[in-house]
Amino acid sequence: MYHLVKGIYSNLTRKEEYSVLVLGLDNAGKTTFLEKLKSEYSDSKKSLPPERIAPTVGQNVGYITFEKTHLRLWDLGGQENLRTLWESYYNDAHGIVFVVDSSDRKRLEECKRALEIIITNEDVEGLPILMLANKQDREDRLEVEDIKEIFNKIAERMSARDSRVLPISALSGDGLKDAVEWLTTRLVRNKQNRPPTLK
C-alpha cells in the first residue's frame, strides 16, 4: 500500500522541466549570465562572483525556477573548436539563448555566422530563440537597434519561430527579468511542439 501511495504522490508532484542552451562566442558573457540567473532565481542562490568566472571549456549547468517554470540551463563553451559540439545538445533542448557581446564590433560577423549555423540545423526547427545583446552597461556598446539590424537577415530565415533580441547586462542584472519572462512564456507556449521533461 505504501508503494502505491508513494507512486501516486510522486506522479502528482512531478514538475515540468525545460532545457535551455546558452550559446554564443567565447567572452560574450554566457557564464556571467548563468551565474546572475542562479543568484536571482535558484533555490540555493549560490553563484560565482564575476571575478571568479573563467572561460567555459565544455559546459556549465544551472537550475532556476521562474514563476513555477523549472529551467535547466546549459552554458556551452563558445571557443571555435567547441562550437561543433553544440549540435549534440539540440535534440534535447526546448529553447536557445544566444548571447552577443555588444561591445565587440570586430567579432559581429563571426557571431552572425555562428547563429546562422544554429538556426539552419533541422533539430532547432520550432525552438524559441532569444538573442541577448549583452554588456549594455559599457560605453563602447552597440545599441540594440544596431544589433537587430545586423541580424535581421538571419531572422527572416527563422520563419514563424518565436525570436527576440533584448538588451541586458549580465554583470548588473539589468534586463534579466524581461529575458527570463519572455523565454519561459515561449517555452510553455511551445510545449506541444517540444514537450518538457517530467522530473
7 assigned to a ligand binding site: no
71 assigned to a ligand binding site: no
121 assigned to a ligand binding site: no
192 assigned to a ligand binding site: no
- Chain Cα centroid distance, residue 196: 16
179 assigned to a ligand binding site: no
Report the catalytic residues. 79
- Chain Cα centroid distance, residue 10: 29
43 assigned to a ligand binding site: no
185 assigned to a ligand binding site: no
For 25-83, the DSSP string reads: STTSSHHHHHHHHHHHHSSS-----GGG----SSEEEEEEEETTEEEEEEEE--SGGGG
CB 102 within 8 A of CB 135: yes
List binding-site positions. Answer: 24-31, 56, 78, 134-137
List binding-site positions for GTP. Answer: 24-31, 78, 134-137
List binding-site positions for Mg(2+). Answer: 31, 56
